[in-house]
Structure 1
């Protein structure tokens, strides 16, 4: 398993149980919950159950789920999370999601982290397609997805349960050939 990815400013490391406090803090912030389907956890035990599920998924061979802690490369401060979940092997596809602490928004860090995960996906895993979705009102996430070369393929009406409301979702994807055209 690829346990660490690095960029100019970031280090992405596979999460461990030691990351629980940082993950719980990030999941508990109303700002990060604004477009998140998980909702704010009732307590730390709720977050721990989610983290334990991620850890279990990462131990299953072959690994089909990667959840990384995003940290500042210089001081290792927690910035957020990013994950890649692989689909059926024959389709060579995956789905990504990310969440950053509000203090790290608007600095290009989500774009940098997502670029690293896409690079890993296409170069190391030889995937064909990576997908992502975001609430239609989440303009910042739309910008990140488009900056890395993902194309909007459509939308779904009232598919995301967010804060007891159903909201619309944009569907994005990037193909291996798109990635190669941009980065080779």
Structure 2
């Protein structure tokens, strides 16, 4: 797979991804009402200096299969939160795990972060498995933290520290 920064040229593919009921099931954004809504979301990402968003494409075909993002906390914390969304066609193939592993390598090896966090809805077992496979530890459960389709649902919090990452990579 390849990770490249999102551009406005990706809006149609992002809109399609965000419009899938399966990818919306645990998403706080909800299904966009129109491509204009998606356009506004993408422009927000591009103007947010504390966030980087990458499109995930297959290396051989360059087909768009998802998104992965990193939202940075204040610099003194050397910390960020990762999130991702994969096209339902590619679920269960290890691609989300691979994308998160690439982002963790970037976070710890290149950016020298101290901590990377992630969260998922308590019922999102597939996402919890991804986070656990990459070495993140479940740190807790936040009650009714995620606004999804008019309801507040509980979310797990996960994190991996730089020292955990280095230990698991044998560094």
Relative to the length of structure 1, the TM-score reads: 0.91
Matched, 1:168 2:159: no
Distance 2:105 2:31 in 1: 31
Q: What's 2:91 paired with?
A: 105
What's the offset of the Cα at 1:97? 0.2
Matched, 1:121 2:121: no
What's the offset of the Cα at 1:65? 1.5
Return structure 1 stretches of 4+ with deviation > 2 angstroms.
Answer: none
Q: How far does the alpha carbon of each residue in 1:36-89 deviate from its partner, in whole angstroms, 9 at most, with x for none?
A: 0000000000000000011112xx4xxx31100000011100110000011010
Q: How far does the alpha carbon of each residue in 1:117-146 deviate from its partner, in whole angstroms, 9 at most, with x for none?
A: 000000100000000000000000000000
Distance 2:61 2:90 in 1: 14
Structure 2 SS opposite 1:117: helix
Distance 1:161 1:107 in 2: 28
Aligned length: 170
CA RMSD, aligned part only?
Answer: 0.6
Match of 2:16 among 25, 41, 49: 25
Relative to the length of structure 2, the TM-score reads: 0.98
Distance 1:83 1:41 in 2: 19
Q: How far does the alpha carbon of each residue in 1:160-184 deviate from its partner, in whole angstroms, 9 at most, with x for none?
A: 0001111000000000000000113
Matched, 1:55 2:46: yes
Structure 2 SS opposite 1:42: coil
Distance 1:16 1:158 in 2: 33
Q: What's 1:46 paired with?
A: 37
Distance 2:89 2:169 in 1: 29
Distance 2:105 2:51 in 1: 16
